[in-house]
Amino acid sequence: MLCKADRTLMHDFSGRCLDHLNQNRPFRLFLTPFHRFLEANVLKEIEKDRFIIEYAVRAFDAGDCEGAVHREEIFEKTKEVDAEFIRRVSVPLLSIKVCYDEIAHIRKGRIASLFRMVSDLLRNWEESISFPAMVRKTFTPEGYAGAIIEMLHLYNLETKTLSNSIKLPPPAGRAKDHLTAALFAIMETTAREIVADYSDKIYGRQSSLCQNLT
């Protein structure tokens, strides 16, 4: 259930980002070459989230709700997902070499954020209730919105930082830099939209719930 909920949210988030980019005329021509990259990127993130959720469940069952050791293991495991991602999107003239010194603190922050959210949900787990009901039982509307916006923001930030690992010859390199800046702004806006919509579905309409979330 937790993996399915995460997969649904991330696919929805990615789809909305692409829709927003398609509406941005200056970047429409550059979007097609990066479309495969963006789709593979979100699949990569969903796979990482699956690791985090499964580790969090095992840690919870073992009585370890903090899971600091597990988070280090997860971080190392995510490097395997990165390697598969690079293989999948590799094309001539495209060079990707991940600099983990640049992204480690961001990725570990997102691991900790999702790990914590899963642990909180597991404390209130009941097979007989729906996922939205379990969320309502675990989080206040503000708490849920804050947890989701934190995870999406860290994902956006890592995606932006990872763009430094992609090397393309000009003029594609310049196009990539412009697209990255536009994409980050759109991803941040879309994150707030997603959180507002999902909060409404779970808690009912919450006026101005997410206006001040960053």
Domain ranges of the chain: 2-203
Amino acid 116: pLDDT:
92
pTM: 0.85
The Cα–Cα gap between 188 and 155 comes to 10
Q: Is 21 exposed, middle or buried (0-12, 13-18, 19+ CB in 10 A)?
A: buried
Q: Which residue has the tokens 């095992």?
A: 58
Q: How far apart are CA 147 and CA 195, in angstroms?
A: 10
Distances (CA, A) of 210 to 24, 141, 143: 24, 10, 11
- Residue 26's pLDDT is 62
- Would you mind telling me the total number of residues written for the chain in this entry? 214
Neighbours of 173 (CB within 10 A): 12
State the CB neighbour count (10 A cutoff) for residue 198.
21
> Digits of tens for pLDDT over the chain (214 positions)?
899 999 999 999 999 988 888 887 666 666 666 677 778 888 989 999 999 999 999 888 888 766 666 778 899 999 999 888 888 776 655 667 788 888 999 999 999 999 999 999 999 888 888 999 999 999 999 999 999 999 999 999 998 887 766 665 565 556 666 677 778 888 999 999 999 999 999 998 754 454 445 4
Between CA 73 and CA 51 the distance in angstroms is 10
CA angle, 149 then 152 then 157, to 5°: 120
